[in-house]
Amino acid sequence: MNGNSSQMPGFWQRLQALIRKEFNQIRRDRRLAISLIVPPIAQLLLFGFALDSTVSNLRLGLLDESKTPESRELAATFTESKSFKFGGYFFDGKALENAISRGQVDAGLVIPYDFARDLHRGRTTTIQFLLNAVNANNAAIGQGYAEGVLLSYNQSLGAHGIRPEIRLISADNSRKGSVSLTPAFLFNPGLVTTWFIVTGTLGTLLVLNGSLVASTAMIKERERGTVEQLLMTPAGTTEIIIAKILPIFILLLGMVIIAMTMVRFVFQVPFRGSFLLVFVGAALCVLCGIGIGTFIATFTRSAQQAQLLSFFVNPPLATLSGSLSPIEAMPKWLQPFTVVNPIRHFGLITRGVMVKGSGLLDVLPNILALIAFAFVLVSLSVWRFRNQLG
Amino acid sequence: MRRILAQARKELTQITRDRLALALALLLPILLLLLLSNSISLTVSDLPLIVQDLDSTPASRNYIDAFRSSVTFHVVAWPPDRQPEQAMQGGVARGVLIIPAHFGRDLARGQTAPVQLLIDATDANTAKLVNGYAGQINRAFIEDQTSSNATGMVQAQIRLWFNPGRDSKKFYAPGIFVLGISMFPPLLASLAMAKEGEQKTILQVYVSSISAHEFLLGKILAFMTIAMAEWLFGLIVMITVFGLHLTGDPTVLVVATIVYAFCVSTFGTMIGAAIPNQAAAIQAVALGGFLLVFLLSGLIYPVENIPPGLRWVSNIVWGRYYIAVVRDALLQGGGWPAMWFDVLMIAAIGSVFYTIAWRNMRYMQVKA
């Protein structure tokens, strides 16, 4: 005990001196400070505003061979909805086909010549709905919209149809039992897509920027050849590494607070759960990023090489995280890989705590996973760094 | 011409000697294509769904079976005495189907039985998809039960063109393919150019008899070769792995690709000429090649969804036009009438880059 306590002041003094040195260096290196704040904020804004999956105003081309009040009523039901907008009349199938393949319209509605006649006779009539499915997501949602519009048209036929005889016939048809499925959108009733993107991007930015800043900072001494000078000081290698990591960590936490403020006030993501929980998750995420950056730095000799190497590490980290697209949409063999990705766990924490109001118990596995990753990554990189210094 | 070729050969030799650069040029685009095309998809399957059946009749169990047999959902257990919201907060389920008591009785009487579906809308896009799928399952159930077209008198025959399986890989793979070509050739070009500035080998170029045009064209030609090689590999992967094939007039794609290879190589050269610092040049290319092409080109979501204040930027994002061309060539087959403008825009943006790079070179030459 005595020996320890007599050593402790020395350790803290040396560490303090080193940390002061690092802070001074960062303060004077304007580029590092700028790269700490500006790119993450710009990327958060860009991702949040540019990525919007809302499918609305699909251009609908009309081919109306019936030319009756009934067919115009159906066409109007489609174009009056927010999902579709009128994209032009076509007079033969070929023209409509060309317009779809040239991308002039996104969808086409073909009403056959016997549409109104069939309705009056109480027969089921069939319309054709063509969708450009090149964009699979738009097609799936557009198909849902079209079916919804048609459902409401059919119901209106039964309730207050344009012609009384149609109402009578269709009322007879709907006498059989039916199920009405009422959806309720929990946590995000307005279906704001940015909430998903922003909460996911936050983790990606923390890890990627954390690793970039850490690798540049770690490599700088080696690039300039000042490592030898550091090693000649009375400080040990562990102290040097702690003193290097700590200031970056503190500065990155500042960035976390700015980013979280933006998520709350610029993108209006609700904060239903505990702020502290998200902050702890973010701090762990930053530590993971620093660990990855330091690890990359130990393999390279220059900042340029480290940046090039990160091209191999960052895309898999960012895409296998579920931050931009849901993990459930990935192929089954790829999904297990996301479990070892810190961004995935942080994404689950932000979405759970901020949007759904989850508590500590709900996200405990994710927090524990982040702690494990941060511990492994940081100790691995410190170990490699120490080996290289020694 | 001979000098241009010599310059191009020198660049290619330098790249083949740098293993990291070679891997970046040829290996990474393919890896990226395979990885991203597989992982970026919005069409979910196997979403965990909780069912709370308060009716417990054969009718309600039939209804649940309809959901159970769909690819979109898989039913998970949840004690009936606990709030379903808790399951969603804990991430156990993404949706809850609640069947009220008297469901079977209502159905048998020919009345409309209400059923509620709670959807976790944290991910709004998935929520919409889930809503659509659930509606389809519901309609299929009604038709099956009442053995009639209970959905109404007007039936829709929905035809999905160009990608009937709604395979999202077919949509994203061309985009990712373009992303790779937009990122790595300009990255290498900017590194090569910035290196000349950083190591002052550019001075040797100045004192040699090569002109600025010849020097630039030689560099650009070398990186165009790399871009074309990437294009060829990528195309093979898309055809063999993702089941895409060339539709319509292939000349559009070939012409557009040559123009685009010129455009991206010139972009990299321009950045390298303007920023004689390799680390900074990488960041500039990453911003232009990756962020702009990834975010503002309609790669994931349509350009029309970008707010107007930001949308105008996408008009000058070169990748946007080439993505349109590649998607057209591999999926729609619209050919020249649909795509001439896009090819023209790529050429226009490329020549702007070239002019800037050339002006930069001239300026540097005078200064030296």
Tokens of B191: 């590194």
Instruction: Based on the fold, state whether residues B79 and B200 are members of the same structural domain.
Output: no
**B118 close to A108: Cβ distance less than 8 angstroms:** no
pLDDT tens figures, A323-339: 888 888 888 888 888 88
Tokens of A294: 């330091």
**Tally of domains in chain A:** 2
Report the percentage of chain B scoring pLDDT > 70: 96
Q: Which of A140, A173, A206 is the last residue of a domain?
A: A173
Instruction: Based on the fold, state whether residues B73 and B197 are members of the same structural domain.
Output: no
A274 touches chain B (CB under 8 A): no
Q: Which domain holds residue A361?
A: 17-51+191-389
pLDDT grade, residue A350 (50/70/90)? very high
B115 within some domain: yes
Instruction: Based on the fold, state whether residues A160 and A254 are members of the same structural domain.
Output: no
Q: Which residue type is seen at A251?
A: L
Instruction: Based on the fold, state whether residues A135 and A270 are members of the same structural domain.
Output: no
pLDDT grade, residue A390 (50/70/90)? low
What is the ipTM for the molecules in this complex?
0.81
Print burial letters for B45-63: b (CB count within 10 Å at least 16), e (below 16). Answer: bebbbbbbbebebebbeeb
B296 touches chain A (CB under 8 A): yes
pLDDT grade, residue A161 (50/70/90)? low
Q: Which domain holds residue B59?
A: 47-146
- B303 vs B307: CA distance, rounded Å: 9
| Cβ atoms < 10 Å from Cβ of B156 | 19
B227 within some domain: yes
Instruction: Based on the fold, state whether residues A126 and A242 are members of the same structural domain.
Output: no
Instruction: Based on the fold, state whether residues B23 and B109 are members of the same structural domain.
Output: no
pLDDT grade, residue B254 (50/70/90)? very high
**A252 close to A28: Cβ distance less than 8 angstroms:** no
Instruction: Based on the fold, state whether residues B257 and B340 are members of the same structural domain.
Output: yes
pLDDT grade, residue A1 (50/70/90)? very low
Instruction: Based on the fold, state whether residues B314 and B281 are members of the same structural domain.
Output: yes
pLDDT tens figures, B135-193: 888 888 887 776 655 456 777 788 888 777 777 788 888 888 999 899 888 988 888 88
Instruction: Based on the fold, state whether residues B302 and B228 are members of the same structural domain.
Output: yes
Read off the CATH number of the domain in which B80 is found.
3.40.1710.10
Q: Which residues of chain A from 155 to 214 reach within 8 Å of chain B, CB to CB?
A: 155, 157-158, 166, 169-170, 173-189, 191-193, 195-196, 199
* Chain B hits for A51, Cβ within 8 Å: 295, 300-301
Print burial letters for B120-150: b (CB count within 10 Å at least 16), e (below 16). Answer: bbbbbbbbbbbbbbbbebbbebbeebbeebb
Q: Which of B112, B153, B167 sits opposite A180 (nearest CB)?
A: B112
A184 within some domain: no
User: Would the CB atoms of A135 and B162 count as touching at under 8 Å?
Assistant: no
* SS3 category, B101: coil
Give counts: helices (H), strands (E), chain A.
Answer: 14, 5
A11 within some domain: no
B151 within some domain: no
Q: What is the model's pTM?
A: 0.83
**Tally of domains in chain B:** 2
pLDDT tens figures, B208-247: 777 888 888 988 999 999 999 999 999 999 999 888 888 8
Contacts of A26 (CB under 8 A, 6+ apart): A32, A33, A217, A247, A248, A251
User: Does residue B194 have a pLDDT over 90?
Assistant: no
Side-chain-facing half-sphere of A83: CA atoms under 13 Å: 19
pLDDT grade, residue A373 (50/70/90)? very high
Read off the pLDDT of each residue in A168-186 and give the average, rounded to a whole number. 67
Tokens of A210: 């954390």
Q: Which of B78, B111, B146 is the last residue of a domain?
A: B146
Q: Which of B94, B117, B146 is the last residue of a domain?
A: B146
Read off the CATH number of the domain in which A126 is found.
3.40.1710.10
